[in-house]
Amino acid sequence: MLDFLKKKPDNLPDFWKDYEAKFQEKLPEEISETRFVVFDTETTGFDIKKDRMLSIGAVGIENKSINIADGFEEYILQETFNPKTVKIHGIIQNERIKTLSEEEAVKAFLKYIGNSVLVAHHAGFDVGVVNEALSRMGLPRLKNKVLDTVNLYRGTRIISNLINREKSYSLDEIAETYNIDTKDRHTAAGDAFITALAFLTILGKLNTDRKLNLKKLFRI
């Protein structure tokens, strides 16, 4: 996106300024004091530019606990017709779920995440999708630190020539290894919850010396 299309810093809306202001505060050093937001987006496809978000699901993790009350699940009203949206429209109509416009959803999401560390499976994609939506609104990119569970999971594998370290692990593979129930797979909130359980398990595996802190986590 071209820079001149973006709003000038002083023209940024209040909700963005509020979001930005939260980053003045430094992140804690200890994992137990850090709030992580594990999230997943469901989209009409895998093209970051063309495809659109259908829903965002997320849960907060603090002190190695997933706090269900600190959850986020919003469905986004689709302006253009896309065959991929039919299924979710069905769900939305059947269950009478309230939908938001993309702008409202992103606004709510910014407020929800604050300066927390974001965690996602193949995080590049989900962060990219949100950044594209921000860019359509003429806003800068997300400022949060990001962890990718694909990468972290790889860090738990032993170093051996017998296994391919570069392999990209799917969420299903990780769920199978850690014996996590994959009900609600392929709903944003369901996937976010599975990713959150995987994330906690990975933290446990990485923390065998009980000295893991946030700084080390970002180096994996």
Residue at token pair 């080390």: 216
* Close Cβ partners of 105 (under 8 Å, ≥ 6 residues apart): 53, 56, 74, 76
Strand bridging mode 99-100 / 65-76: parallel
State the Cα–Cα distance between residues 202 and 183, nearest whole angstrom: 20
Do residues 130 and 106 make contact, with C-beta atoms less than 8 angstroms apart? yes
In angstroms, give the least distance from the CB of 180 to another protein: 8
Q: Which of 30, 47, 65, 155 binds another protein (CB under 8 A)?
A: 65
- 165: helix, coil or strand? coil
Of 21-29, 45-53, 141-149, 161-169: span binding another protein (CB under 8 A): 161-169
Q: How far is the CB of 12 from another protein (least distance, A)?
A: 27
Check binding of 162 to another protein (CB under 8 A): yes
Member of 85, 131, 177, 213 binding another protein (CB under 8 A): 177
Q: What is the SS3 string spanning 92-154?
A: HHHHCCCEECHHHHHHHHHHHHCCCEEEECCHHHHHHHHHHHHHHCCCCCCCCCEEEHHHHHH
Closer CB to another protein, residue 74 or residue 148?
Answer: 74
Give counts: helices (H), strands (E), the chain. 8, 6
| Residue selected from 94, 161, 166, 215 as contacting another protein according to rule CB under 8 A | 161
Residue 219 sits in the site that holds another protein (CB under 8 A): no
Sole binder of another protein in the list 123, 139, 189, 214 (CB under 8 A): 189
Binding status of residue 68 toward another protein by CB under 8 A: yes
Minimum distance from CB of 209 to another protein (Å)?
A: 4
71 and 55 Cβ atoms separated by less than 8 Å: no
Q: Which of 12, 48, 200, 220 binds another protein (CB under 8 A)?
A: 200
Pattern 7-46, another protein, x by CB under 8 A: ----------------------------------------
Tell me which H or E stretch contains 20.
helix 14-21
Tell me the number of residues near another protein by CB under 8 A: 40
Give the up-direction half-sphere exposure of residue 208: CA atoms within 13 A in the CB hemisphere: 4
Q: Which residues bind another protein (CB under 8 A)?
A: 57, 59, 64-69, 71, 73-75, 95, 97-98, 157-158, 160-163, 176-177, 179, 183-184, 187, 189-190, 192-193, 196-197, 200-201, 203-204, 207-209
